[in-house]
Chain A
Amino acid sequence: MSRELIVVLLISPLVGFLINGLFGKFLKGNEKLSGGIGTLAVLVSFICAIVAFAGVQGGAVLEGDAGVLYEWIAGEGFTFNIGFHVDALTTVMLLVITGVGFLIHVYSIGYMHGDAGYTRYFAYLNLFVFAMLVLVLGNNYLMMFVGWEGVGLCSYLLIGFWYERQSATDAGKKAFIVNRIGDFGFLLGMFTLFAAFGSLDFTAIFGAAEADTFQKVFGGSTLVIATLLLFVGAVGKSAQMPLYVWLPDAMEGPTPVSALIHAATMVTAGVYMIARSAVLYELAHTGQVVAWVGVLTAFFAATIALTQNDIKRILAYSTVSQLGYMFVGVGVGAYASGVFHLMTHAFFKGLMFLAAGSVMHAMANELDMRKMGGLKAKMPITHWTFLIGALAIAGFPFLSGFWSKDEILHSAWGSHPAIYVIGLITAFLTAFYMFRLIFVTFYGQSRVASAVASHVHESPPVMWVPLVILAIPSAIIGLLLGWGGHGSAFHHFTESVFKAAKEIGNGAHGEAAGSAVPFMIISAIVGLVGIGFAWMRYSKRTPAAQPGTALHKLVANKYYIDEVYNAVFVQPIKNVSHYLLWRVVDTGIIDGIVNGVAVAIRIIGGTLRRLQTGVVQAYIVSMVVGIVIFLAYYLFIS
């Protein structure tokens, strides 16, 4: 694998962005051209990614000096390069980003048809793919951070894509700021790493960490502090507790964006980061923290998903929940399993978002599933593909989610039974809320408003073909790559990446202990029971318009977390800044002193001026008085 291949892979979407971004004016009105350029750019990257994947299969890994492109920031005692690190883990991410990304670009050609910002949309989407590629290709933490913030920017731009809407721009701003809180942690984590290792390169850091030849800036807890700070970044980017609040709001963006950025790729960056840093997390034993945050988020978000009626929001909370599973995976040392779930999730969640977009497309942008029902007949392809996605996430036997989720749960059991139990309960909730959505939306009586009902139709081929293509891996990729659990093809492929971490962690995790079959059977039963409950409850009835019990109300209002944040952080900071800092401290005290000095000088000057009366007698009198005082002083006192 050559560095040139990776450069082409990386630059192609950037070129697409520049063409659509700079010359959008000339492309305006020609949707085919701007959409085509954007899609083609990602297709080129996808083809390069396949070549790179094949290269890795053959054992070619791009790392170290061979991957360095140029020296970015350097000076006496510090060098940060722009360079690539391409191994099995990277190529998995590359294939997901460019593969799912390509399909979503194709889908967008149809979905965004007629939008005034069509060119701008494709420019942003290409820029996103570029930034995401920077994130996974970098051979050091700083370059990862460049991509990390870059995808955050694109997320901001795309959430607020329809900028006339206040709610959309609010959501974009919130996403950016909450992510910045996470990035603040990431930044400090990088500083800690640099202080300890004198470098931010992966190979240098992991090598020195294993050999224990680094500066203990914080004594024995150096790595603990570094890994936890990096994890703060992951919590922000991957929407875990307590920083998950931006992701549900991010649904204000166009639906393909939700599929690509807020389900399949960007939000998984945190999982990728931890998998990449596996050695550090093993040495620091901070995986437990990661796993607990993950499993609690998974459960918490799933409970909220139970009560929502907006189909995109259900999918959003579901994403938060599934990301939690991935963190459980990488937290308990089952790195390959976590990344495997990342991949299967990219397929089935991307699929479901696109299918939801197809529903919106048919329903004049309606999102409230209480106003749907019985769509199965009118939108058969959307229904079937959505159903496959839902079965996959619910852990229906032999579909993709069944394999990846089960591997994680199995490993969790070996780490801490409580994590397993909470994870299992969450699996039940997942099956239930997902099929609540399916039954209410696609089955039962139609509750579609009559004005809309006549327009409900299946989406055009440019939209449904990507659905069908995504449905295939959602269904079978688990069987193909996941068969055999920890000895599966996927594990085999990524083995070399996690080898060092596995050796360090050996004994700490009991993941491979025992047969996986009993776990699979339990998981399958739990998933099926969840589906069954949903069928009993919702196949005939619609959700109540208003929440009944107090608990229901609490959950339906998302535990009032947004309101709490607003009351505890946002408003006080605003008020203190405005009234105390600006009005009192700045204008009142500091500037008051400055102006006070000026006024005092003017008053003193004004007073002293009066002495200059111009009356000669007065001057003589004061002169005489002065002489008398001087004489008196010298004669009598000294």
Chain B
Amino acid sequence: MLLSIVIFLPLLGVVAIALLRGIGASAVKGIAMAVALLTFLISLGLYTGFDATTAEMQFQESHAWISGLGTRYDIGIDGISLWLVLLTTFLTPVCILAAWNSVEKGLSGFMMSLLALETGMLGVFCATDLFLFFVFWESMLIPMYFLIGIWGGERRIYATVKFVLYTMAGSALMLVGILYLYFQNDNSFALLPLYEKAGTFTHANLLFLAFFIAFAIKVPLFPFHTWLPDAHVEAPTVGSVILAGVLLKMGTYGIVRFCLPLFPDAAATYTPLIVTLAVIGIIYGALVAMVQPDLKKLVAYSSVSHLGFVVLGLFTRHHAGIQGGVLQMINHGLSTGALFLLVGMIYERRHSRMIVDFGGVAKSMPIFATIFMITTLSSIGLPGLNGFVGEFMILLGSFHGGAFSKVYVVLAATGVILAAVYMLWMFQRVMFGTPNKINAALPDLNTRELVVLFPVLLFIVWIGVYPKPFLSRMEKSVNVVVTKVQQETAPAMGHTKIKEVPRYARVDINKEAETK
């Protein structure tokens, strides 16, 4: 019951706001905030009640839904989805507070969209029925469409249509894949029985691709990324925060929830291609981010680079790599979310996002500059802050896992240098120097903005210094995925055994299956 409450409580808020029309702006904000905060507080029950010693789905619920279709309302979370659920319930109240004064028209619609979006996102992370998953996956597009299309910038229509159509093109493929799996699953959409059948599906390669392309667009993996900068630039601040913080993670979550454990052979087959794209994304995203004149675009391209790391980690076939990939999803949500919040705050003051318009902001807004610095350092993976833990684990796993050549690791690690280049260069141009008259008059952060940023900073430091509560809870679930992708090659392994395993044993098995 707890999980359903967490998922649908925001929807209740939508209904409440809809029913109480004309109650005034502050009441709408109050209701939205109260609902979002309550959802977050209740979701903490998932954390405290979570059993870290098992990889089983927890807080499971199963109800008959549309029996004629073979679909049920099956939900549950494991150590991977737990964190994405908490990230979602955490970021939503932060976003509502961030948008407190920035929505000028249609406030109730805005808040309703935001809350409806939360339900959609939570549903995606909790569904253990493919049909239910798909319903949540698609339903979350609608509020996002409104958020960008109504409250966005000048080219919002172009951006939102591009975003929706691009995603739907991918979803269409995934739907075909889901249906095909349905027929191989005794006419059922249930996910858990599918895990038992992993590796036995006919046309597993095509199925893998159908899912993977949908997720790759969402991530976005190079070269499917061009919708992202447009969507970010046009979206309102909180739209960008949710987009970067949670929506992109649905792609990487899908990979680790479906692509890897269901089609381990196909995943091994396509690993060289995918990892190549991931590494290109890391370097390419960083280089293009470096030359962006617009702050939001810069952060958007940096996301392409960072998510390249996540995808790289997920395909390492190594504990540290996959666990690092999952942790990095959270980390990216926090640090990039915070970056978009900060960019939004300065945009509200200056009505510009162009780097050339700034300079010397550290003088007029020292607190802002300090928080921006910490977030920047988190983003470039400074040890002691969250980003490093994830990146280190990903690269360590990539190097050690032997799923692909070490050349990829060397190339990916240059991303660490490039990240410092584009972030620090941007920081210098915005913050340092002598401010002109306009920038000298910018007021520093107010209390509300500090309240928005403080919780995010808290987690940035916490994960950096003491990631154990996070890592230990996801460990068992990650191990299951690792075992699946390594199955038959070796039992759960320490570092020495892995070397004895033929490197591409997976591929050979796959070929055998095909020739039969």
Contact = CB atoms under 8 A, between A and B. Distances in A.
Q: Say if A and B assemble together.
A: yes
A191 B420 contact: no
B431 interface: yes
B374 to A, nearest CB: 11
B197 interface: no
B416 A598 contact: no
A581 to B, nearest CB: 5
A78 B362 CA distance: 41
A578 B226 contact: no
Interface string B493-516: 111100100000000000000000
A233 interface: no
Given A75-B323, A184-B416, A590-B226, A177 B471 contact: no
Interface string A450-476: 000000000000000000000000000
Contact of A581 (B287, B383, B395, B478): B287
Interface in A118-174: 142, 145-146, 149-150, 153, 156, 160, 163-164, 166, 169-170, 173
Interface residues of B, number: 60
Given A215-B499, A581-B287, A594 B162 contact: yes
B166 to A, nearest CB: 7
Interface stretch (B69-77, B308-316, B421-429): B421-429
A169 B428 CA distance: 7
A57 B125 CA distance: 58
Interface in A53-112: 70-78
> Chain B's interface: helix, strand, loop or mixed, by majority?
helix
B173 interface: no
Contacts of B362: 163
B396 A594 contact: no
Interface string B415-457: 0110011001100100111100000000000000000000000
Contact of B320 (A75, A142, A146, A153): A75
B409 interface: yes
A177 B420 contact: yes
Contact of A188 (B410, B424, B432): B410
Interface in A212-243: 215, 217
Contacts, number: 142
B106 interface: no
B349 interface: no
A537 B162 CA distance: 74
Contacts of B425: 173
B467 A73 contact: yes
B465 to A, nearest CB: 8
B400 interface: yes
A142 B471 CA distance: 18
A629 interface: no
Nearest to B471: A75
B363 interface: yes
B405 to A, nearest CB: 13
B414 A78 contact: no
Nearest to B492: A76
A284 interface: no
B356 interface: no
A561 interface: no
B227 A594 contact: yes
Nearest to B479: A76
Max count, chain B CB within 10 A of own CB: residue among A71, A77, A215, A577: A77
B389 A73 contact: yes
B288 interface: yes
B417 A181 contact: yes
A73 B227 contact: no
B291 A180 contact: no
B494 A77 contact: yes
Contacts of A78: 319-320, 396, 495
A154 B389 CA distance: 20
Interface in A174-227: 176-177, 180-181, 183-184, 187-188, 190-192, 194-195, 198, 215, 217
A177 B223 contact: no
A598 B400 contact: no
A582 B288 contact: yes
A637 to B, nearest CB: 34
Contacts of B360: 164
A20 B514 CA distance: 66
A289 interface: no
Contacts of B210: none
Interface in B378-424: 382-384, 388-389, 392-393, 395-396, 399-400, 409-410, 413-414, 416-417, 420-421, 424
> Chain A's interface: helix, strand, loop or mixed, by majority?
helix
A173 B399 contact: no
A75 B291 contact: no
A177 B424 contact: yes
Contacts of A590: 223, 225-226
A75 B384 contact: no
Contact of B432 (A169, A176, A198, A577): A169
A632 interface: no
A599 interface: no
B409 A191 contact: yes
Given A164-B360, A173-B424, A176-B424, A195 B284 contact: no
Contacts of A169: 428, 432-433
B248 interface: no
A153 B377 contact: yes
B291 A188 contact: no
A432 B417 CA distance: 39
B195 interface: no
Contacts of B226: 586, 590-591, 594
Given A73-B393, A75-B323, A78-B319, A187 B416 contact: yes
B416 A180 contact: yes
A594 B288 CA distance: 18
Nearest to B360: A164
A576 interface: yes
A592 to B, nearest CB: 9
Contact of B288 (A150, A187, A577): A577
B250 to A, nearest CB: 20
B32 interface: no
Max count, chain A CB within 10 A of own CB: residue among B383, B410, B416, B479: B383
Interface string B280-322: 0000100110111000000000000000000000000001100
Interface in A583-621: 585-586, 590-591, 594, 598
Max count, chain B CB within 10 A of own CB: residue among A75, A183, A573, A581: A75
A191 B395 contact: yes
B319 A72 contact: no
B27 interface: no
A270 B410 CA distance: 22
A176 B410 CA distance: 20
B447 to A, nearest CB: 14
A164 B383 contact: no
B262 to A, nearest CB: 21
Max count, chain A CB within 10 A of own CB: residue among B319, B495, B496, B499: B495
Contacts of B323: 75
B164 to A, nearest CB: 12
A180 B381 CA distance: 11
Contacts of B292: 582
B414 A581 contact: no
B87 interface: no
A163 B369 CA distance: 12
A367 to B, nearest CB: 22
Contact of A173 (B414, B428, B478): B428
A378 interface: no
B129 interface: no
A32 interface: no
B242 to A, nearest CB: 23
Given A163-B433, A173-B428, A574-B291, A581 B284 contact: yes
Closest 3 A/B residue pairs (Cβ): A198-B495, A191-B399, A146-B383
Given A142-B392, A582-B291, 6 more contacts: A76-B475, A166-B432, A169-B432, A188-B409, A191-B395, A577-B287
5 contacts: A78-B320, A149-B383, A153-B377, A577-B288, A594-B226
